[in-house]
A and B are shown apart, each in its own frame.
Chain A
Amino acid sequence: GESVGLHLPTLSVQEGDNSIINCAYSNSASDYFIWYKQESGKGPQFIIDIRSNMDKRQGQRVTVLLNKTVKHLSLQIAATQPGDSAVYFCAEPSGYSTLTFGKGTMLLVSP
């Protein structure tokens, strides 16, 4: 989602629910995408990646879906836990070795 200044898009879920975080990307030629998780006051951590020759990739409790037709990525987190509360960023290549990061979505998990 797009940034609204100081306010990040926020998704609030109950513990145990499934979460879906969305990301629109801009470059139809992008061939690789990454999802990062950033907990408050810490650096981002890699969650999962996907190449453009795939539509879906699964990790542990996470699934990334890629829809190249509409340039859309989603991150699905199964059985969301309080420890999943964080800001989630998608990223795509922007140059030879650089990434462009989305504005981020805050996930809040209540017990």
Chain B
Amino acid sequence: DGGITQSPKYLFRKEGQNVTLSCEQNLNHDAMYWYRQDPGQGLRLIYYSQIVNDFQKGDIAEGYSVSREKKESFPLTVTSAQKNPTAFYLCASSISAAAHSYEQYFGPGTRLTVT
């Protein structure tokens, strides 16, 4: 089965701790994305990567970091500098940035709660 997996589904952390959210895809997609979703809101882009070993900041990158060492994996770290980290985090991928293929495929999401 091809798809995007995110783990864990629910994550709880104490304030002041960094936490890393996992995202893996076996679709052989070049581009990957991280979004944050707050209740009653749309999706806001945190970081994206068009190719391995390269990534760009999205609209709300402050307090987050990413890496893209492998094509299949794009982990997101929520650092203690992120003021309001509690949210639903969604990972997505798309075939190729070069192909201007805009359709994005989403994972099931991770709900992070920081107290």
Contact = CB atoms under 8 A, between A and B. Distances in A.
Contacts, number: 59
B102 to A, nearest CB: 5
Contacts of A89: 42-43
A8 B40 contact: yes
A70 interface: no
Q: Which of A8, A44, A91, A104 has the most chain B CB within a 10 Å cutoff?
A: A44
Interface residues of A, number: 26
B75 interface: no
B7 to A, nearest CB: 13
Contact of A102 (B42, B100, B101, B102): B42
B31 interface: yes
Nearest to A97: B97
Interface in A65-96: 89, 91, 93, 96
Interface of B: 4, 31, 33, 39-43, 45, 48, 50, 58, 90, 92, 94, 97, 100-109, 111
Interface of A: 3, 5-8, 32, 34, 36, 41-46, 49, 89, 91, 93, 96-99, 101-104
